[in-house]
Structure 1
Amino acid sequence: MPIASLDEITARIGTQIGVSDWIAIDQARIDEFAEATEDRQFIHVDPEAAGKTMFGGTIAHGFLTLSLLSRMAADVMLVPANTKMAVNYGLNRVRFIAPVPEGSRIRGTFTLANIEERGDGQFLMHHNVLVEIEGSDKTALTADWIGLLVL
């Protein structure tokens, strides 16, 4: 995660703080997520059956795409040098807008929406996140994500 002072981070409220690297969504990743979550619906794990649907092939679980926000955030989220930990606090809004086809790549664009001081060196960092699919004009996912930063 990029390092910045709390004042520098606060000055970025309302602005885009960065765009993550691309992440490949292949069948192996989809299958591993299906096993971990026990969500083995055919549109995710059966290429032949999924090929006969409107998707034309398997698609990533929406929650797989959502779970990759942590990976994407590691590329762009700003944190002070004296950060003890940063943890998920929650989501205010998530929308799965377009399916992510197997074989595609996704990346996240992060905008710092707000920072709330909670006291004792704790801050809630609110980010608006948009996940795009490479080569598509459709957004895969949008989320209002909150992280707890402990300094």
Structure 2
Amino acid sequence: MKTFQTLQDMAACVGQEVAQSDWITVTQEQVNQFAEATGDHQWIHVDVERAKAGPFGAPIAHGFLTLSLLPRIFETAVEVVESSMGVNYGLNRVRFMSPVPVGSRLRGRMKLLTSEPIDNNGVQMVWETTIELEGVSKPACVAESVVRRYP
């Protein structure tokens, strides 16, 4: 975990890889719960036996499940002591580059692309987060996440 005292301290890292998260194991239970929450019951995600005979050889996580792990990735990678709140402001670009088999582990590598002041003494940051799949050279996902943080 990379810890900064202030938002300004973090802003000084524009253009740099700042941190990496802890590893996160993707479970079938998570995949099933995500399917229930979103209504995406595609067999490659939720039908374990059929998925074993499918194109990936096992059930895989939804791409959007992988993307939805961004808050958890941020939580285990970066802390700003003098920041009371962060808000998801959106995404600029997202690519799902490798399937994520159930049981695999993911972590995020975070590069701060921009940091701009906004109202209420906050900052708007754009983070390039590369979600790595343990043991695979090609990332599972690369996303530009826009986050607003406030003191």
TM category, shorter? over 0.9
Q: Is 2:21 aligned against 1:17?
A: no
Q: Give the structure 1 partner of residue 107 of structure 2.
A: 107
Asked whether the 8 Å contact 1:9–1:78 carries over to 2, the reply is: no
Q: Is 2:49 aligned against 1:59?
A: no
The CA distance in 2 between the partners of 1:126 and 1:78, in whole Å, is 16
- 1:73-112 matches, within 5 Å, as 73-81=74-82, 83-112=83-112
Gaps of 5+ in 1: none
Q: Give the structure 1 partner of residue 136 of structure 2.
A: 136
The CA distance in 2 between the partners of 1:53 and 1:68, in whole Å, is 25
Asked whether the 8 Å contact 1:22–1:107 carries over to 2, the reply is: yes
Asked whether the 8 Å contact 2:109–2:130 carries over to 1, the reply is: yes
Tell me which amino acid in the other structure corresponds to 2:113.
A
Residues 12-32 of structure 1 deviation map (CA, whole Å, 9 limit, x = unaligned): 111111110000011111111
The Cα shift of 1:78 comes to 4.1
Asked whether the 8 Å contact 2:126–2:146 carries over to 1, the reply is: yes
Tell me which amino acid in the other structure corresponds to 2:146.
I
What SS class does the counterpart of residue 139 from structure 1 fall into?
coil
The CA distance in 2 between the partners of 1:53 and 1:111, in whole Å, is 35
Q: Percent identical across equivalent pairs?
A: 43
Aligned length: 150
Tell me which amino acid in the other structure corresponds to 1:113.
L
What TM-score do you get using the length of structure 2 for normalisation?
0.93
The CA distance in 2 between the partners of 1:11 and 1:78, in whole Å, is 15
The Cα shift of 1:79 comes to 2.3
Q: Give the structure 1 partner of residue 49 of structure 2.
A: 48
Q: CA RMSD in A?
A: 1.3
